[in-house]
Structure 1
Amino acid sequence: MLTAVSVGGPAVAHAALKSSDPKDGSTVKENISSIELVFSEDINARYATVVVTGPGGAKVADGKPQVEGETVTQALKPDLANGRYAIAFRVVSADGHPVAEELHFTLNAPTPEPSPSETDSAEASPTQSPASPLPSSPDQVTTTPAAADSAGNGGATSFIVLLVVAALVLIVGVVVFLTGRRRAGDAET
């Protein structure tokens, strides 16, 4: 009778992701400055890669990932935009086994309140500076090119208008001159 004998050796275990902060599929309600990945065993720092992309595919990782034992931390650029983010990582465990995965989270942080100086400038009219008051009567309103420039319409626009007016005056002058010559010639004959 033959009996099958199983010779058991040590189970070969490879690094596996134990946890992440933020968690896969979560919604984060405040701005974050880093991603943390924790594995089941130590990670080789030479081969750790973490790529974090945000809305529109913008890369938001700041520098290289930091590895301490089984924890990999990736710093992020400041002031992240709200939206969906992807964390793609590839690490190599101490036994040389590569592990790669992609996680996702959504950032939905409140937008910061504008500072008092931003509020003051936002309330000022784009064509009216806070230091220059509105005219109190229609007589104070001027329409010269210099006044249009100071009102924020741009020097280029005034220059183009001036050129068009000058061209029209020149054309009218030439027409009047030629018409006058032809009448004078007709009168002589």
Structure 2
Amino acid sequence: MRLTTKRLFSTLAIAALGLALSMPSSLSHTKLVSANPAAGSVITQWPEQISIEFDEDLINIGDEKTNFIVVNNAVGDQVSNNDETIESNIATVSLTPNEIEGPVLVFYRVISADGHPVEGEFTFTFGQDQPVTQVEITETSSSYPISIYIASAAFIASGIFFAIYSYRRRNRG
């Protein structure tokens, strides 16, 4: 069976296009759904723990500590313990007692089910009648840029081309 060059390139182009179109689904990552205490809320009683819920399951990688929740009070002292637990899509950490009123910063870094780290932060306020001027929830996801996927697809396509070319040369003579 002999493939013409035109047919070979058409086949490779279709394969590359199929690979490129299947990539965007792997680029989505988990997002914060809710937290307790909620982002932007004002609480008057200090909680014993903070729970953060995500839209996908979270994972632990081996025995490594890969999921973090760090909570700092209004003067920047860390008030979270180092006992984060992950159950399905909920991350929880216990808190030490705190009497300092004001904004509380919650920073998290978790590993989503697809293996990508997701980090973000939010604030809530501890104390009576503390005004909250602006609430901003930020999330960043460290995933690979699309150029790596395109370069990988080009590398795979060139490998397929080389294999077909070598096979054809070997069977000619």
Q: When the two structures are superposed, what TM-score results if normalisation uses the length of structure 1?
A: 0.51
* One-letter identity of the residue aligned with 1:43: L
Q: Is the 8 A contact 2:79 2:98 kept in 1?
A: no
Cα distance 1:62–1:109, how it changes in 2: closer, same or farther (>3 A)?
A: farther
Once the two structures are aligned, what percentage of the paired residues are identical?
30
Q: Is the 8 A contact 2:49 2:94 kept in 1?
A: yes
Partner of 2:95: 76
- Tell me the C-alpha RMSD between the 2 structures: 2.2
**Matching of residue 11 in structure 1 with residue 25 in structure 2:** yes
Partner of 1:36: 51
Higher strand share: 2
CA drift of 1:22 comes to 1.1
**Matching of residue 101 in structure 1 with residue 145 in structure 2:** no
Rg larger in structure = 1
SS in 2 for 1:50: strand
Q: Is the 8 A contact 1:30 1:109 kept in 2?
A: no
| Deviating 4+ runs (over 3 angstroms) | 5-10
Any unmatched runs of 5+ in structure 2?
Answer: 1-13, 130-173
* One-letter identity of the residue aligned with 2:111: V
2: distance between equivalents of 1:80 and 1:14?
A: 36
CA drift of 1:39 comes to 0.6
Q: Which has the higher contact order (CA 8 A, sep 6+)?
A: 2
List per-residue Cα deviations over 1:75-124 (Å, max 9, x = no partner).
000244222110011111121111111110101169xxxxxxxxxxxxxx
* One-letter identity of the residue aligned with 2:25: A
Partner of 1:50: 69
Any unmatched runs of 5+ in structure 1?
Answer: 111-189
**How many residue pairs were aligned?**
106
1: distance between equivalents of 2:35 and 2:126?
A: 15
